């Protein structure tokens, strides 16, 4: 995957509030979830866009394949 790399701070600004983009990260990959009606206004149930959701997926009612329907737009910069 030859995708641009973003810091967590850059990801945080793509929260559907500060900018038009609505992005979330999972396992180091950043996905654009703007087309999902479930992510309107950057919120999906108790989750907010602009964050890495890897740790929160274990409690989700769906599997990680849910990200297959979204476009990968970047990678999270490793600390």
Backbone angles phi, psi at 42, to 5 degrees: 80, 15
- Of 45, 36, 39, nearest in space to 15 by CA: 39
The pLDDT assigned to 9 comes to: 95
pLDDT in tens, the chain (79 residues): 689 999 999 999 999 987 889 999 999 999 999 999 888 888 888 888 999 999 877 777 677 778 999 999 999 998 7
The pLDDT assigned to 48 comes to: 87
Which domain range does residue 18 map to? 5-76
Q: How many domains does the chain have?
A: 1
Q: Could you tell me what percent of the chain has a pLDDT over 70? A: 96
- The CATH number for 41's domain is 3.10.120.10
The pLDDT assigned to 1 comes to: 60
């Amino acid at each position: 995957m030859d995708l641009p790399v973003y810091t967590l701070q850059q990801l945080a600004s793509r929260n559907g509030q500060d900018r038009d983009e609505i992005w979330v990260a999972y396992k180091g990959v950043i996905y654009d979830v703007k087309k999902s009606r479930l992510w309107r206004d950057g919120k999906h149930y108790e989750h907010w866009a602009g964050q890495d959701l890897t740790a929160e997926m274990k409690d989700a009612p769906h599997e990680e394949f849910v990200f297959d329907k979204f476009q990968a737009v970047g990678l999270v910069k490793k600390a």
